[in-house]
Amino acid sequence: MTESNAPKGLEGVIAAETVLSYVNGTEGILEYLGIPIDQLATKSTFEEVAFLLWHKRLPKAAELKDFTAQLRAHYTLPTPVKELLQNIPPKTAPMHVLRTAVSYLASFDETPDDISPEGLREKGMRLVCQMPAIVAYFDRARKKLPLVDPDPDLNIAGNILYMINGEAPDETMARALDVCLILHADHGLNASTFTSRVICSTMSSVYGAVTGGIAALHGQLHGGANERVMYMLREIGSADNVTKYLDEAMATKKKIMGFGHRVYKTLDPRATFLKAFAKDLADSTGNHDLYELSTMVEEVMTARVGSKGIYPNVDFYSATTYKSIGIEIDMFTPMFAISRVTGWVGHILEQNEANRIMRPRAAYIGPHNAPYVPFDER
């Protein structure tokens, strides 16, 4: 490689080693610690997946019980963070709120800079339990609804729905959200995970690394795509507008949200799983039309650009799924973050096991010996 032809977007560059997730983009395979994603989505729970990613093995029954109890002991948010959420301007996007509040959480940890494996796992527990509380409190505060405190008798997914809606969660919806959390937990060296690994490679805190991860995830080319999918489906509106909308968008080189992937050049296995899952959920919640519209978008896209390896990614059918669960559009990406924090923490643990600061180079393509021109000559 010459100085000036560095791969754009670091495509194909191997920047870390991991045992956490295996992503095979040509065969459409995703595994966590070697376990196929559909096995985990059908048989596991989000809590168990968090243990798997942080301990690199499945827990024994007693270990999972203990781990779950420890998690639930972390549900409560420090009061000043709760107060902050009530004072943030209601129009603020929940992802900005989440990033700010997660950074603030460091102030209520006695040892925020502890990066020992035990310390990181403990902070991971705080984050995965307190990020849902941040999002749910803010959602109710912006709607001027009374805040609902977490219920330690519920699992993470059920507790999110309880804190947002203020009523006992429907079991099917809680399990549906649990499955979404499992599917989004880890995905190789995606942009936000890479960001977290870069930050922790300087021996910075987990709070900094996760705050950076949230910022990276927010972008529409990454986790922010799930919200954009729903706005796009709304804009398309009806079946007879699908072809016209997509053709016009692609004629102007617009990216269609929820399609394409840097690694997958075939169907994203999470999208395959979510498609079937979204259908059942949409049918039982009166969102059948939305599901049908989504499948039409997929059909037209596959006909137009499938040959280029552009297929639905995880964000495409997760939009319909979240909508059926009753989650508001601007809360879709925060749900992704609540899940992906388990992956970020797993990768931070892994990076720290054999750390070396991540410090690549840029190929300098500018001039040399440029004159310093005085103000009156510029």
Ligand X SMILES: CC(C)(COP(=O)(O)OP(=O)(O)OC[C@H]1O[C@@H](n2cnc3c(N)ncnc32)[C@H](O)[C@@H]1OP(=O)(O)O)[C@@H](O)C(=O)NCCC(=O)NCCS
Binding site for ligand X (CB under 6 A): 9, 221-222, 225, 250, 255-262, 305, 308, 310, 313-315
Around Cβ 267, how many Cβ atoms within 10 Å? 17
Of 84 and 300, which CB lies nearer to ligand X in the complex structure?
300
Measure the CA–CA gap between 226 and 110, rounded to whole angstroms.
36
Measure the CA–CA gap between 165 and 148, rounded to whole angstroms.
8
Of 11 and 110, which CB lies nearer to ligand X in the complex structure?
11
Least separation in angstroms between CB 297 and ligand X: 11
Of 82 and 222, which CB lies nearer to ligand X in the complex structure?
222
Of 97 and 229, which CB lies nearer to ligand X in the complex structure?
229
Q: Which residues contact 366 (CB under 8 A, 6 or more apart)?
A: none
Pinpoint the alpha helices (H) of 256-327: 269-284, 288-305, 314-325
Of 85 and 217, which CB lies nearer to ligand X in the complex structure?
217
**Residue 29, amino acid:** I
Active site residues: 222, 261, 315
In the structure encoding, which two tokens stand for residue 332, read together? Answer: 């879709």
- In sign, the C-alpha dihedral spanning 256, 257, 262, 263 is negative
Least separation in angstroms between CB 364 and ligand X: 23
Least separation in angstroms between CB 94 and ligand X: 18
Least separation in angstroms between CB 313 and ligand X: 4
Among residues 224, 260, 223, 268, which one has the least CA distance to residue 37?
268
Among residues 291, 345, 341, which one has the least CA distance to residue 319?
291
Least separation in angstroms between CB 14 and ligand X: 16
